[in-house]
Amino acid sequence: MKEVLEYLRRHEDRWVADLCDYARIPSVSAQRQHAPDMRRAADWVARRCIGLGLETTTHETAGHPIVVARTPEASPSKPTFLVYGHYDVQPPEPFELWTSPPFEPRIEGRNVYARGICDNKGQHLAHLNALEAWLHSGLPLPVNLVFLIEGEEEVGSESLYEFLPRHRAELACDAVVISDNGIPSLEFPALTYALRGITALEVRIDGPARDLHSGLFGGSIENPAMALCQLLGGLRDSHGRITVPGFYDQVRTLSDYERTQLARVPFKEESYRALLGVTELFGEAGFTTEERRTSRPTFEINGLTSGYQGEGSKTIIPSWAKAKITIRLVPDQTPEVIAEAVAAHLRRLCPPTVRLTIVPGHGGAPYLVSPEGPQAQAALRALTAGFGHEAIIMREGGSIPIVSAFKRHLGVETLLLGMSLPDDNPHSPNEKFSLDAYAGGMRMAAHLWPELAAAAS
Amino acid sequence: MKEVLEYLRRHEDRWVADLCDYARIPSVSAQRQHAPDMRRAADWVARRCIGLGLETTTHETAGHPIVVARTPEASPSKPTFLVYGHYDVQPPEPFELWTSPPFEPRIEGRNVYARGICDNKGQHLAHLNALEAWLHSGLPLPVNLVFLIEGEEEVGSESLYEFLPRHRAELACDAVVISDNGIPSLEFPALTYALRGITALEVRIDGPARDLHSGLFGGSIENPAMALCQLLGGLRDSHGRITVPGFYDQVRTLSDYERTQLARVPFKEESYRALLGVTELFGEAGFTTEERRTSRPTFEINGLTSGYQGEGSKTIIPSWAKAKITIRLVPDQTPEVIAEAVAAHLRRLCPPTVRLTIVPGHGGAPYLVSPEGPQAQAALRALTAGFGHEAIIMREGGSIPIVSAFKRHLGVETLLLGMSLPDDNPHSPNEKFSLDAYAGGMRMAAHLWPELAAAAS
C-alpha cells in the first residue's frame, strides 16, 4: 500500500489541476443550452478512463451519455465492484450569489469553489485517481472494477433506469460503491449504512355537494376542513408517536452498537435550530434528534388545501378538504404495509358525516446494509485509514433511489462512502470541495479495494 | 278592516300587473350597463309612492338613488314605522338555466317567475299595496309610515350606510319593518326574531424559516400543518361542543316557548340532507338541526392553506400553515369577547415548537327581538290574520347587517316578516314569487299597522 499512497501524495498538484479542468465544463443536465457541455463532460471522463487503460464505452441514451469503464482482463477469482458517479451538475443560478464564477474553479485555502465540485465530480475523480495510483504501483489490484458514470442524476436518472436492466451482465458485481453523500466532518469519516424509504398518499374529505353558506347551514353538518384536522391531528400523540396501529411493528430497533456509533458525532442543538429557523426542536420521545431524523419513521403533512384561500374572509363551509402526506419509512418497514395500515386507520376513524378518499402515491423501500457485516466493516477500515480518524457509521433521513435500483437490477448492496462536508453547499451558490476531503477520499479509495477483497475471501 | 281587505281583494289583478311591470326593469345593481335601469326602477317606485300621495324624495347618492316616502301630515300621537326594501336585484346569469327570460315575468299556476320578484320587489310592493288599500278605505291609518327603498342591497348597501347617520331625524321611528326573508311555507307564516352574529379570524402557524426536505429533517422538528390540525381539531369535542373556555357563557338559553315554537315546523331530515348533499347530519349534541343552524354558536374553518397544493407530491415540511375561520355568534354573545376567548385559548394550546399569529377579522353582533314582546306579538297576530294560519317565530342562522345599522343609527328594533318560500330561488335562476304569498303578505301588511298601533298604546 505504501507505493499507492506515495503515488497519490506525489501527484497531488495534478489531481487538483485535473479536478479544476473537469469542473470548468458547465455540464448542467437540466439546461438545454448545455447539451454540448454534457457531451464534453462525458468525453472528459471517458478519456480519463481510457488514459488509465480501462475498457471504456460511452453509451448513447435518449438523454445524456453513460460512460462505463472497466479494469481490463477481469479475473473471475477476484471480486468485482462497481463505482457509481455522475458528471452532470445542478444549475448554477442565481449567479449573483457566487463569489467567483461557478465554472471558473477558485482555490481558497484548502477549498476549491465551483459548481458540481462536490456533487459529484470531485468524488468519482478521487476514485479514478486512486485507481491510477494502484495501476502505477506495480502491485496487483486485488479486485475487478467497473466505473458507471451517468449524466442525468440531477434530473432523475431516467436513462440510467432504462440502462440498468438491459446491461445486467455487463454491470454484474459484488457490491456498488457510491461516494455522493456527506460526512459530518474530516474528523468523522462516515459510512452511511441506512436510508429512509417513503410512501406517499393524498387524503381527501368530501362533505356537502358544494360550498355552503356558513350562516345558513353552519352547525348542522360536518365541516370537511375540521374533519380533516381532527382526523390527521389524531394520528400523532403528544409524545410524537404515530398512533396508527402496527405503525412501528416492522421498525428494526437500533442496536447498542448503532446507538453508540450514531452518538459519537457531537450534535450542536443550537446551530441545528438556527439552521432550520425553528424556535424549538420536536420529535418522538425517547430518541435523539439524529435518531429522529434518520432512524425513526415519520408522518409528515406536505400540504393542506380547503375552501377559501384568498384575501379577507369568505363565510363558507367548504365542500372538501385535502392533505398531501408522505411517510418516511425505516428498515424493515415496507411501503405497502404502512400505506395500508394508515389507510385502514383513517377509514376506521373517519366519521360517517363525510366521505373519505385515499389516493396512494409513490413508494420506496428503506435501505440498510448491516454496519456489522464484512463489507461494511471493510469500508469502515478504509475510511479510518484514509482520513486518519476512526470512521463512524451513520444513517440518512432521505432516500437515494438509485440504491434501490442497483439492489433490484444487480441484486447487490451499496456502500455509501461520503467525502463532502456539511458546509460544501451542493445545489447552492458557492459550492465547494475540501482538498483535504479530496486527498482523504483518494486514500480511502486506495485502501478500499484490498479491504473489500479481504472481506470477500 | 273589512274595507281594507275588500279593497285588496278587488284589485288583485292590478297588484299582479303592477308587480310584473316593476319586475320588467332589469335593475341589476352589480352591472354597470344597467345604471339607466337602476334609475328607472327608483323612478318607478317613487312614482308609485307619489301616486299614493306620499311625500316622496329620491335622494342621489354616490351609488344608486335612495327613495324615501312618508305618509303626509304625520301625527305625533301615532307611532311611526319604517318599511325598508330594495329595488335592486341580483345579476340574472346564467341565462341558459332560466325557463323564460328573467326580465319577462311569466305566470304559471300561482307563481310569477322573474329576477328580483321575491328579492325584494314583491315584498315592498305588497306593503305599498296594503297602504293604498288603507288610504282608500276611508279609515284613519293608525300609524305614520316611512318607506325607505334603496338600490344597493345586493352590492353591500354602501350608500345607505352613509345615508343613515345623516338622516336620523327624517328616519326616526318606533321600529323598522323588513320583509326580505323567508318563511317555511304558507301554512307557517313566520316572524324572524333572531339572527346570528359573526367574528372572523385567521390563524397562522410558522415553523421552519423555509420549506424543508422532509427526508433530511422530518421527525426532528414540528410540522406546522400538523400543529395547525392538532390545534384546530382540538377546538371541538366529539359531542360537537366547542372546547374554548367561556365560549358558551354568554349564550342565552332557548326558552320553553322558543323551543316549542321552533319545533312546530315539521323538519324533513331526508330532504335537508339531500339538499346539502351530505351523507349524514352532524351538530352539537342535545339540539335539533334547526336549533343548531340558528340558535347555537359555531366554529367553522372556511379555508386551509399549507405547503404544496399542486399535482403529485412534494416531500417537504411546509414552513407555515394557515386557516381562515368564522365563528357564528348567538344572542347574547359579543364578537369581541368570543374573539378574545378563542385567541387566548389558541395561544395557550399552541406548542412552543412553532409560532402562532392570529389576525382578527370583521365582527358583527347577533340580533334578537324578544318574541314575547308587544311588537313581536303584534306582528305574529298580523301574520296569523294575513296568512290564515297561526304564525310561528323563527331564528335565522345568517346575519342581516342592515338590522344592526338600524339599531345603531335609529336606536330601534327591526321586525322581520317574511313572505318568500323555501323554493323561491332568490339569487338563482328561475326566481319566483308565490301569488298566494303576495296576497297573504298584503293582508298581513294591512293588519300590521293597527296591531302595532294597539301594541304601542
Q: Do B221 and A362 touch (CB under 8 A)?
A: no
Greatest Cα-to-Cα distance within chain B, rounded to the nearest angstrom: 88
State how far residue A107 is from chain B, nearest Cα, in angstroms. 30
- B153 classed as catalytic: yes
Is 90 exceeded by the pLDDT of residue B452? Answer: yes
Q: In this structure, which amino acid lies at residue B126?
A: A
**Closest CA relative to residue B417, chosen from B90, B112, B83:** B83
- Please enumerate in sequence order all residues whose Cβ is within 8 A of that of A50, keeping only pairs 6 or more positions apart, or say none: A56, A69
**pLDDT given at position A399:** 84
Q: Which residue has the higher pLDDT, B118 or A426?
A: B118
What whole-number distance in Å separates Cα of residue A194 and Cα of residue A199?
Answer: 17
Q: Do B217 and A292 touch (CB under 8 A)?
A: no
What residue has cell string 342562522? B397
Residues of chain A with Cβ-Cβ distance to B156 below 8 Å are: none
**CATH architecture of the domain with residue range A197-251+297-363:** 2-Layer Sandwich (3.30)
Nearest to B221 among A282, A323, A354 (CB): A282
Give the torsion through C-alpha atoms of A239, A242, A248, A252, to 10 deg. -60
Half-sphere exposure of residue B437, counting CA atoms within 13 Å on the CB side? 30
Q: Do B281 and A220 touch (CB under 8 A)?
A: yes
Q: Do B226 and A198 touch (CB under 8 A)?
A: no
Nearest to A399 among B215, B219, B225 (CB): B215
Find the mean pLDDT for residues B128-133. 98
Q: Which residue of A has its CA nearest to B400?
A: A215
Q: Which residue of B has its CA nearest to A359?
A: B312
The pLDDT mean for chain B works out to 95
Is 90 exceeded by the pLDDT of residue B176? Answer: yes
Q: Do B324 and A318 touch (CB under 8 A)?
A: no
CATH (one of 3.40.50.300, 3.30.565.10, 3.40.630.10, 3.10.580.20) for A2-195+366-456: 3.40.630.10
pLDDT per residue of chain A (457 residues) written in tens, 0 to 9: 899 999 999 999 999 999 999 999 999 999 999 999 999 999 999 999 999 999 999 999 999 999 999 999 999 999 999 999 999 999 998 899 999 999 999 999 999 999 999 999 999 999 999 999 999 998 999 999 999 999 999 888 999 999 999 999 999 999 999 999 999 999 999 999 999 999 999 999 999 998 998 988 999 999 999 999 999 999 999 999 999 999 999 999 999 999 998 888 888 999 999 989 999 999 999 999 999 999 999 999 999 999 998 888 888 999 999 999 999 999 999 999 999 999 999 999 999 999 999 999 888 899 999 999 999 999 999 999 999 999 999 999 988 889 999 999 999 999 999 999 988 988 888 999 999 999 999 999 999 999 999 998 8
Give the C-alpha distances (Å, rounded to integers) separating A209 from A221, B276, B298. Answer: 12, 6, 20
Give the torsion through C-alpha atoms of B163, B166, B171, B174, to 10 deg. 110
What whole-number distance in Å separates Cα of residue A167 and Cα of residue A405?
Answer: 13
What residue has cell string 369581541? B336
Which pLDDT band, with edges at 50, 70 and 90, does B427 fall under? confident
- A88 classed as catalytic: yes
Q: Which residue of A has its CA nearest to B205?
A: A278
Q: Which residue of B has its CA nearest to A216?
A: B397
pTM value? 0.87
Q: Do B215 and A277 touch (CB under 8 A)?
A: no
Residues of chain A with Cβ-Cβ distance to B196 below 8 Å are: 215
Assembly ipTM: 0.88
What whole-number distance in Å separates Cα of residue B22 and Cα of residue B147?
Answer: 17
Q: Do A298 and B196 touch (CB under 8 A)?
A: no
Determine which of B199, B217, B220 to mutate to test the interface with A (most A C-beta atoms within 10 Å).
Answer: B220
As given in the structure block, the three cell numbers for residue A400 are 437515494
Nearest to B308 among A214, A303, A317 (CB): A303
Residues of chain A with Cβ-Cβ distance to B357 below 8 Å are: none
Contact A412, A146 (CB under 8 A): no
**pLDDT given at position A315:** 87
Q: Do A217 and B397 touch (CB under 8 A)?
A: yes
- Please enumerate in sequence order all residues whose Cβ is within 8 A of that of A31, keeping only pairs 6 or more positions apart, or say none: A91
Catalytic residue among B18, B37, B88, B132: B88
Sheet (strand A111-113) strand order: A106-108, A111-113, A432-434
**Interhelix angle for A435-456 vs A12-23, to 10°?**
100
Catalytic residue among A37, A150, A153, A431: A153
Residues of chain B with Cβ-Cβ distance to A225 below 8 Å are: 301-304, 323
Is 90 exceeded by the pLDDT of residue B311? Answer: no
- Domain ranges for chain B, please list them: 2-195+366-456, 197-251+297-364
What whole-number distance in Å separates Cα of residue A13 and Cα of residue A434?
Answer: 14
Is 90 exceeded by the pLDDT of residue B301? Answer: yes
Nearest to A304 among B233, B321, B326 (CB): B321
State how far residue B398 is from chain A, nearest Cα, in angstroms. 4
Q: Where are the beta strands (DSSP E) in B313-455?
A: 316-317, 320-329, 355-364, 367-368, 392-396, 414-417, 432-434
**pLDDT given at position B1:** 87
Q: Do B302 and A214 touch (CB under 8 A)?
A: yes
DSSP one-letter code for B115: T
Instruction: Classify B294 as helix, strand or coil.
Output: helix
The domain defined by B197-251+297-364 carries CATH number 1.10.10.10:
no
